[in-house]
Amino acid sequence: MGSVIKDVTITDDHPSNFLKEKHSDYIEHYGSKHDVYEYKMSEYLRMCGLYWGLTAMDLLGNLNKMSREDVKRFVLTCQNDDGGFGACKDHDSHILHTLSAIQISMMYDLKDEINVEKTVEYICRLIQDDGSVMGDEWGEIDTRFNFCAVASLALLGCLNKIESKKEAIINYVLSCMNFDGGFGVRPGSESHAGQIYCCLGCLSILGALEHVDRESLGWWLAERQLPSGGLNGRPEKLPDLCYSWWVVASLKIIGKVQWIDKEKLTRFILACQDEETGGFADRPGDMVDPFHTLFGIAGLSLLKSTDNDVRDVNPVFCMSQDLLNNLGVKSSIIS
């Protein structure tokens, strides 16, 4: 009963140069051409999608190609009376979209246009006494939401509003730590690279990385790399480009990024590009989308493997480092 490693094969037919202009075109025209169906069907995640696209453009240094006015109008129509943001106009508020809306607002300097006070109240209402965080008023609990809440407040400069709950949030996140040093969705849930990123991000912003077992976790994360160079999110799973973000950002936060093979990973990321349309897919040869396009570009930025073609990304907020420097938003990273 020997296990076969689940992986993909990369050949010379897969792209190996960074197609910067194509990606920029892909994002700029997303939703207006052949992918109009995908665009409309993904209305339920529009705000997050907008953040992916805009951040990708920002990292490419092409944010000026997007219409600030259109973005502003859209974001403002998505803020609900409860202070949170929905995915689209008329959609209910959710912490995922609230974080995205705030990230976009920071990119476009819209802080004075949105109702910050109400947003902060909305976020604080979702934080429970035990330190867990609900996604919305319907009570789903997930460590992704801990990151969303804390990152949102940090970006708005309002972390002081949760001073009394800080200890509880840290302890809750730590209660989700597992035998492998990783973190899951809730206490008892299996470790998953995406949740690990969220938990490390949350602890980084709250200045509590001392609790992380960096040796065990760093080793586990390094073992996500497969022979193709790509990374999976859990043991015995297929590689997926988005883990080039979740895993590498996590390694970066705990100061162990040198434990993976950067060249091989870069090769995998580049192979996920679509030479015709631009954009990145989850695996070489699959359909591209904005989500993987952002994490492909951000991954390359973290690895510093495209010379100066991509701007520096911050591993905690997944936003350009320059922008965060200008905003004075800080997070701790172990170097």
Kindly calculate the radius of gyration of the chain based on its CA atoms and give it in whole angstroms.
19
DSSP code of residue 259: G
Measured CA distances, 33 to 36, 37, 199, 220, 279 (Å): 6, 9, 37, 41, 14
How many chain residues bind other proteins (CB under 8 A)? Answer: 71
200 binds other proteins, rule: CB under 8 A: no
Distance CA 51, CA 104 (A): 6
Identity of the residue, 111 or 330, whose beta carbon is nearer to other proteins in the bound complex = 330
Closest CA to 92 of 136, 35, 130, 41: 136
Interface region with other proteins, contact rule CB under 8 A, candidates 12-20, 61-69, 119-127, 226-234? 226-234
Among 13, 287, 325, 326, binds other proteins (CB under 8 A): 287
Identity of the residue, 7 or 61, whose beta carbon is nearer to other proteins in the bound complex = 7
Q: Which residues ranging from 27 to 66 are in contact with other proteins (CB under 8 A)?
A: 37-38, 40-41, 43-45
- For the bound state, the minimum distance from the C-beta of residue 259 to other proteins, rounded and expressed in Å, comes to 4
Among 110, 168, 222, 327, binds other proteins (CB under 8 A): 222
Report whether 39 contacts 288 (CB < 8 A).
no
Among 291, 296, 301, 331, binds other proteins (CB under 8 A): 291
Distance CA 289, CA 272 (A): 11
149 binds other proteins, rule: CB under 8 A: no
Interface region with other proteins, contact rule CB under 8 A, candidates 62-70, 106-114, 132-140, 296-304? 132-140
Among 98, 152, 191, 305, binds other proteins (CB under 8 A): 191
| Number of neighbours of residue 317 by Cβ within 10 angstroms | 25
Torsion of CA 171, 93, 29, 20, to 10 degrees: -10
| Number of neighbours of residue 81 by Cβ within 10 angstroms | 9
190 binds other proteins, rule: CB under 8 A: yes
- For the bound state, the minimum distance from the C-beta of residue 142 to other proteins, rounded and expressed in Å, comes to 8
94 binds other proteins, rule: CB under 8 A: yes
Among 22, 29, 72, 91, binds other proteins (CB under 8 A): 91
Distance CA 133, CA 131 (A): 7
